[in-house]
Chains A and B, each alone.
Chain A
């Protein structure tokens, strides 16, 4: 075991897979000699060579196209989009192309591609760096979307993502990159895609969260405990496909749910997940399912992040609402 930040765990996962499988290729803008704008690919080009880890021209759609083409030649591409706000340039390559490759070829081809991209607020980035756009890709059949919240899960899930034979979007929350260290095994291991994790057990209310909001929910749960409210915190980890079994099992126990996401109310995956919960477990609900989200405006100017981003206080407020319904 080693103590690692999430970014170190991510680098470690790529190192493991570059070593394990010669078809793995890591590429993007500044991921080579520079080691990435967040040092996520630091040292990888030196260790594996420019043939395996390389820079590309500054063109996200082109990076998506390169990934698909390399996949057609039997490679296992791990491209990076520097900030996920730039995904609009690559939307066709992702949702229009790689997500559909297996289906459109009747299973003849497939796209074992893992797109890595940082996102998330709280670090005062300039425009279109922090936006939570996971909902756009989660709506696309053929894609899988992973958002880890701890170093341990980041490594295990990234290794799983790279080994998956269908395209995976792996979103890395910038605020979680270096904000804490966690125990990470030095050897290879995997964490299952599509499986949620109960981060904290509780009996009065279920908090369903992902990304940085897992930590806000855990913090809220601690404070709620002082008021005698026992909150169970579920970390979705994969937001498409969603692990409904784990959620429903929890709902049957707590009978109350608050969904917590950093994205705006009209975005993210809250709407979809809540809809499924009510279809599957309405008879177990004592109160409506409420949402903690950002307001439905464009992502905040950086100086307004503090008032705009949802935090643990918003979670506490919503929990009190469902408890007192």
Chain B
């Protein structure tokens, strides 16, 4: 397993310590703290009925944000349903992330500078599409990558294999991230496969595979940077497995992790909390203080308050809006249906 920091925040692998400035290191910590607060608030807002579909992210900050931090603005992200934080830090306004959760089309009308698809619900579909985006980038001669994420359960899908195999066959600049949090809802990774690692699945595609400590933000960033450099140099795709853990349930739609996880297991992984480890590392370098952390927490809470308000002020969706987004030019039957709904809506 590729690791840079141990659980006490000590550098155990100097050779692979990424070259990040003090400001960049602080920014990474700021984002992780902010995202932890976002998760806590999202769960609370979901319970109050102010948010809809929500897949908790606490525990996966290093995996999600360390990998996104290695990207350029022109890179393309194809996220899974748990990968909203990467979109936010790549430029998705928070209120739109909330609208995605609530089920409003405006949540998916991304700003032009955000090159990403909205969170993919069909597990594996983002993998085959990533091979296509990456091939497109290669054909355009762009020095950019397509990045996608799935979970441990997702590695059992056919589209997972087809995606990495296609990207390999076309030597396309793609980075495939597998966030192994050990559980696909209630099914442990041991029931997905007899393979000892998920990273070794890269062998089937003949591409590079690397297993990383997904609770170590510097290791995730470093692995991602290596994969990105290789991809833009024309050396093809990489599969990165991040070993991580979700502290919360699978989603907020009724999943109860106590049915399939023990308290001991939770406690064992909480010791590996990516925030605790990185905080110690930064404190050791005199780059982080409680004061700074509290400032981030306040800032996050303030932003979230404003964003949920903005999401709630979004005009309600009408059937005519939905019809308008189906085709460039409406076929006759939809024109007919639009007129019917326009009459209803004007009542």
Interface residues of chain A, those whose CB is within 8 Å of chain B, are 25, 51, 56-57, 59, 61-62, 64-75, 92-93, 96-97, 102-110, 141-142, 144, 164-166, 194, 241-245
B108 touches A108 (CB 8 A): yes
CB-based contact B128/A244 at 8 Å: no
Q: Could you say which of B117, B122, B165 contacts A72, with CB atoms under 8 Å apart?
A: B117
With A97-B125, A105-B108, A142-B326 already in contact, the answer to whether A62 and B133 are too (CB < 8 A) is no
Task: Please name all residues of chain A whose beta carbon is closer than 8 Å to the beta carbon of B158 when the two chains form the complex.
Answer: 61
Beta-carbon nearest neighbor of A243 in chain B:
B332
B132 touches A69 (CB 8 A): yes
Tell me the B105-150 residues at the A interface (CB within 8 Å): 105-106, 108-110, 117-118, 122, 125, 127-137, 139-140, 146
Sorted nearest first, the 7 A-B pairs with minimum C-beta distance are A69-B132, A65-B128, A73-B136, A62-B162, A241-B331, A106-B109, A69-B133
A241 in contact with B333 given A69-B136, A97-B129 (CB within 8 Å) = yes
CB pair A96 B105 closer than 8 Å? no
Query: What does the 1/0 interface line of B154-167 toward A look like (CB < 8 Å)?
Result: 00001100110110
Q: Which residues of A contact B129 (CB under 8 A)?
A: 65, 68-69, 72, 97
Is A106 in contact with B108, judged by CB distance below 8 angstroms? Answer: yes
What residues of A have a CB within 8 angstroms of the CB of B127 in the complex? 65
Q: Closest A residue to B139 by CB, please name it.
A: A51
- In the bound complex, what is the Cα–Cα distance between A61 and B59 (angstroms)? 33
Once the chains bind, are A109 and B325 in contact (CB under 8 Å)? no
Contact check, A65 vs B322: say whether CB atoms are below 8 A apart.
Answer: no
**Contact residue among A66, A73, A244 (Cβ-Cβ distance under 8 Å from B166):** A66
CB distance from B114 to the nearest CB of A (A): 10
Q: Is B327 an interface residue (CB 8 A)?
A: yes
Task: Tell me the smallest distance from the CB of B11 to a CB of chain A, in Å.
Answer: 38
Chain A residue numbers with a CB within 8 Å of B326 are 102-103, 141-142
Q: Are A108 and B110 in contact (CB under 8 A)?
A: yes
Tell whether B328 is near chain A: CB-to-CB under 8 Å. yes
Given contacts A57-B169, A96-B125, A106-B325, 13 further A-B contacts (CB under 8 A): A57-B166, A61-B162, A64-B128, A65-B128, A65-B162, A69-B130, A71-B132, A75-B139, A93-B128, A104-B118, A106-B106, A144-B331, A164-B328
Whether the pair B135, A70 counts as a contact (CB closer than 8 A) is yes
- A residues in contact with B166, CB < 8 Å: 56-57, 59, 62, 65-66
Q: When chains A and B are docked, how far (Å) is the Cα of A105 from the Cα of B114?
A: 13
CB-CB under 8 A from A110, the residues of chain B are 328
Most buried by B among A68, A73, A75, A241: A73
A158 CA / B326 CA spacing, docked (Å):
21
The verdict on A62 contacting B125 (CB below 8 Å), with A69-B146, A70-B135, A72-B133 known, is: no
* With A64-B128, A65-B131, A66-B166: A105-B117 Cβ-Cβ less than 8 Å: yes
Interface bracket on B: 35 or more
B132 touches which one: A65, A92, A241 (CB < 8 A)?
A65
Chain A: which residue is nearest B159 at the CB level?
A: A61
With contact pairs A72-B76, A106-B325, A194-B332 given, residues A65 and B136 touching in the complex (Cβ less than 8 Å): no
- B327–A102 touching, CB < 8 Å: yes
- Most chain B CB within 10 A, of A25, A51, A66, is at A66
- Per the bound structure, the CA–CA distance linking A97 and B118 in Å amounts to 12
Write the nearest CB–CB distance from A221 to chain B, whole angstroms: 27
Are A241 and B109 in contact, with the CB atoms below 8 A?
no
Whether B128 lies near A74 (C-beta < 8 A) is no
A69-B135 in contact (CB<8A): yes
Measured CA separation A144–B328 after assembly (Å): 12
Asked if A245 contacts B122 (CB within 8 A), the reply is: no
A75–B109 Cα distance when bound, in Å, is 20
The answer for the CA separation of A72 and B166 in the assembled complex, in Å, is: 17
Say whether A62 contacts B328, CB under 8 Å: no
Nearest B residue (CB) for A109: B117
Q: Name the B residues within 8 Å of A61 (CB-CB).
A: 128, 158-159, 162
CB distance from A26 to the nearest CB of B (A): 13
Given contacts A61-B162, A102-B327, A108-B110, contact A69 B332 (CB under 8 A): no
B206 to chain A, nearest CB (A): 12
From residue A246, how far is it (CB to closest CB) to chain B in Å? 11
Q: List 19 A-B contacts (CB under 8 A).
A: A25-B139, A59-B166, A62-B128, A62-B166, A65-B128, A65-B129, A65-B163, A69-B130, A70-B135, A72-B76, A72-B129, A72-B132, A97-B125, A104-B118, A106-B109, A107-B324, A108-B109, A142-B326, A241-B334
Residue of B nearest to A164 (CB): B328
Instruction: Compute how far the CA of A68 lies from the CA of B78 in the bound complex, rounded to whole angstroms.
Output: 12
Please tell me if the beta carbons of A66 and B328 are within 8 angstroms of each other in the complex.
no
Q: How far is the CA of A67 from the CA of B313 in the complex (A)?
A: 37
Q: For the complex, what is the distance from the CA of A102 to the CA of B139, rounded to whole Å?
A: 23
Specify which chain B residues have a CB less than 8 angstroms from the CB of A93 in the assembled complex. Answer: 125, 128
Q: How far is the CA of A102 from the CA of B131 in the complex (A)?
A: 20
**Cα distance A102–B163 in the bound complex, in angstroms:** 22
Which B-chain residue is minimally distant from A25 (CB atoms)? B139
- Residues in B with CB closer than 8 Å to A105 are 108-110, 117-118
| Chain A residues in 8 Å Cβ range of B105 | 103-104, 106
Distance to closest chain A CB from B35 (angstroms):
24
Chain A positions within 8 Å of B139 at CB level: 25, 51, 70, 73, 75
- Most chain-B Cβ atoms within 10 A of its Cβ — which of A56, A65, A110? A65
**For B331, what are the chain A residues with a Cβ–Cβ distance below 8 Å?**
144, 194, 241
A88 to chain B, nearest CB (A): 12
- Give the shortest distance, in Å, between B77 (CB) and chain A (any CB): 11
Residues of B near A64 (CB, < 8 A) are 128
- Considering only CB atoms, which chain A residue lies closest to B105 in the complex? A106
- Whether the Cβ atoms of B133 and A107 lie closer than 8 Å is no
